[in-house]
Structure 1
């Protein structure tokens, strides 16, 4: 039986993640407040951000940028998308 969370991003009760998907306090908060569906949506956006912006994840600035975008997307209802991306 999966746990149900009141998903902050999608604003409804949905199955939650099995484990925190990110280290530290941020990961705990995601695990408590974000559904599997919303996390998967973020993973798709993150992939586009990395590809479109040619981010090097070995670069601490790229990781910091992605963390900021993740925070904005999941918790601040921010509109985060790769520049020039058009949903097809």
Structure 2
């Protein structure tokens, strides 16, 4: 049976992640409150942030920035896009 959660992003009961994304309290919070659909959207947002800000994901600064953005994306106002970002048109 699928792991079901009340998704904080969609405010609905949805299928959750198969396992926590991180071995931490924050990873557990995501596991208990974020749907697979919302997580997939975060992965795309993270790629965009990495590219727009030219982040090197192995650096502590980039990791801290991404965790802040992830927290805002799931549990805050949704996070803001970079000022220079232009959404692809296709």
Q: TM-score when scaled to structure 2?
A: 0.89
In the alignment, what sits opposite 2:71?
A: 71
Counterparts of 1:1-88 in structure 2, within 5 Å, are 1-87=1-87, 88=89
The answer to whether the Cα contact below 8 Å between 2:17 and 2:36 also exists between their aligned partners in 1 is yes
TM-score (norm 1): 0.90
Unaligned runs of 5+ in 1: none
Structure 2, unaligned stretches of length 5 or more?
none
Structure with more relative contact order (C-alpha pairs < 8 Å, separation 6 or more): 1
Residues 28-71 of structure 1 deviation map (CA, whole Å, 9 limit, x = unaligned): 00000000000110000000000111101121111100000000
SS where residue 39 of structure 2 aligns?
Answer: helix
Two-structure CA RMSD over aligned residues (Å) = 1.3
How many residues were matched structurally?
88
